[in-house]
Chain A
Amino acid sequence: MKYHSQRNKRLIIKSGHLIDPGQGLDGVFDILIEGGVIEAIERDIPVEYAEVIDASGKIVVPGLIDVHTHLREPGFEHKETIETGAKAAVAGGFTTICCMANTNPVNDNQEVTRFILKQARAAGAAKVYPIGAVSKGLKGEEMAPIGELKEAGVVALSDDGNPITNSSFLRRALEYARYFGLPIISHAEDKMLSPDGVMNEGKISTQLGLPGIPNTAEEIMVFRDIKLAELTGWHIHIAHVSSAGSVELIRQAKARGIRVTAETCPHYFSLTEEAVKEFDTNAKVSPPLRTKDDIEGIKNGLRDGTIDIIVTDHAPHHPLEKAVPFEQAPSGIIGLESSLPICIRLIEEGVLSWPELIRKMSYMPACIFGLPGGTLKLRRPADITIIDPKIRYRIDVNRFYSKGRNCPFHNWEVIGRAIITIVDGNIVYKADLRDPLSLTY
């Protein structure tokens, strides 16, 4: 992997199929990059004095953006570090990622925010934007210093993993965060409804004797969050939507003009509770994998725009932490290096078109969270992902840059992946397509 060392070089991406929903481009173009920014997008750019990437037959898109990851540093470096996470990101085609605040110490003060930004710069792979805690220590009691966090560089606020149960607290936090223009990302779950829950409440939980988490535990909180967004007039973003009922609530809220946006993850439209059947701890995730009906609901939500974006909720754990009986295993699935090929299945299934998918994986995340990137307009940073849409291979966790191995898509045969990832005009990732272990033809 190379780092940002090629400033002021001319780089031309030749003859790729450019898909940039932010400016309505969908066709074959050349892209000229100079000084780390987009200099020209034209039909035929002369290649003199430039490094040329032949992208014919490839899809060229604004760098993918994942606003929901857990990079585990500081505090849990055995699971992941900012460096390994950022490298996993570019290997998966992501040029920009946001990381959640549930580190140790929690990102509830500027010291932690600055530390994360410093580590990310040192890693030199993907751009990393921290998400600050809503409450001190993620306890849901006292507000974190939101103004200080904003100044240090957080782009949103979330107590992800620890749902905020106190509605009055969330109301005041929304009102206060509005002043600083920071949206609040809500992990919507009423834990009182699922005190020991480890999987979806349904047929499989009854068969396996595992305590269940009903869809209602999510939907009650989604509804509350929507009402609080309405009450405060501020933006709430619903994290990792897993239930068809939540999609319907969000659809109705949007129709009424309430400031709510929503995300889902590849596992919520690709896997059901059946994945847990052999007590596979790699399929243990919060919220849990649900049913075929929920997958349908989520796909409909993706189709009609109710669900604005796709994130990974990349949640690495050490393999030994997952090598325990199901109920004792931590929740979480990694996704940075499997998300794109799983999402491309949505195109094959006719759920989304290429431009719609790139909209949800790059343009909209940038718009919703005010991030640079998401479109390749002139003079904007050259954050670009080149995708081979035809390459067929097996996902292999042992080839991941992430320290996590907790990926239920291991061994899936998929089509399509990022082959070159460019951040600020520098090639930060290039897939080794001759490697017989990572790719089979």
Chain B
Amino acid sequence: MLNRLERKHLLGIEDLTREEIEFIIYTAENLKEISSRDIKKVPTLRGKTIISFFYEPSTRTRTSFEIAAKRLSADTISISASSSSIVKGESLIDTARNIEAMMPDVLIIRYPYAGAPHFLARHLDTSIINAGDGMHEHPTQALLDVMTVKEKKGRIEGLEIVIIGDIAHSRVARSDILAFTKLGARVRVSGPPSLIPPYIEALGADYYQDIEDALIGADVVIALRVQRERQKQVFFPDTREYFIRFGLNKRRLGLTKEDALFMHPGPVNWGVELDPEIMELPRTIILDQVSNGVAIRMAVLYLLAGSKT
């Protein structure tokens, strides 16, 4: 096991080694307990300034990062596109350089286009954390997904993970495929072919034409949100047809292993990709993912900003 993370930025799962992923999860498992204390705060990042910079709407990720930073006693500032000079036409690089001039320790960025965090990492000295870049990566989501599966299953190696739905537009799918395969799981993807990107096998996943075939024998099922806001073209007839043909319900989930887990990165369109009848199943662990999200983000912030001193 590593004892520190020798990197300045968290830009994507693609850059991480298996050992680094395991070390981040291990750190998160240790930090998780802080959130169940009466006084949920440790002084680890006291005096550190963390700025989160969200150019896209977000509830979970943004709140989760902010809570994580606060529980580690960092000072946090949150900027959104609509309240920043972006609306006055300031470029990303100018905005970022101006923010950097105020000496933050970490910049967390979510951006509607791929590669924006990588772009900032090339131009700035501050640590950059990718909180989702276009359709590219969402590394902390993948890390919390891995942590949640490992918590419930005790392992990742050898598991059959199935990702269903809009793979083409999903940064979660890309990061999840990379993370789970790096840790020795097999990942299957399925959904309407119009939402499966070409050369999906280049990411390391196996494509199944029929979603029910994909579900047979699965240990974990991750449903993806139908991302209407990214779909400027026609990819499928309508949400009703999607729900009937590709939505996950009790019958379809019955094809999986008996102890299979059902996950979703949120926000869920109930009645589109998931049937509300599965909401209360004990195997549906969507809220556990959210809780672990705080622990993962505490771990990432701690390892990037805190552990060096």
Contacts and interface: CB of A to CB of B under 8 A. Distances in A.
A325 B113 contact: yes
A279 interface: yes
A208 B118 CA distance: 11
B273 to A, nearest CB: 19
Contacts of A255: none
A210 B112 CA distance: 11
Contact of A195 (B93, B136, B233): B233
Nearest to A327: B113
Q: Which one of B123, B137, B174, B199 has the highest number of Cβ atoms from chain A below 10 Å of its Cβ?
A: B199
Contacts of A323: 91, 93, 123
B134 A196 contact: no
A325 B197 contact: no
B113 A326 contact: yes
Interface string B24-61: 00000000000000000000000000000000000000
B136 A208 contact: yes
Contacts of B171: 209
Contact of A279 (B115, B135, B203): B115
Interface stretch (A20-28, A74-82, A198-206, A302-310): A198-206
A61 to B, nearest CB: 40
B92 A324 contact: yes
Interface residues of A, number: 22
B198 A328 contact: no
A203 B202 contact: yes
A278 interface: yes
A209 B134 contact: yes
Given A206-B200, A209-B135, A209-B171, A325 B232 contact: no
A207 B92 contact: no
A203 B115 CA distance: 16
A205 B123 CA distance: 23
Given A210-B114, A325-B115, A325-B116, 4 more contacts: A207-B202, A209-B137, A212-B198, A328-B113
Interface of A: 195-196, 201-203, 205-212, 278-279, 320, 323-328
Closest 9 CB pairs of A and B: A209-B136, A279-B115, A209-B135, A327-B113, A203-B202, A325-B116, A206-B197, A203-B199, A325-B113
16 contacts: A195-B232, A202-B199, A203-B199, A203-B202, A206-B197, A206-B198, A207-B202, A208-B114, A209-B171, A279-B118, A324-B119, A325-B92, A325-B111, A325-B113, A327-B115, A327-B134
Interface of B: 14, 91-93, 111, 113-116, 118-119, 123, 133-137, 171, 174, 197-200, 202-203, 232-233
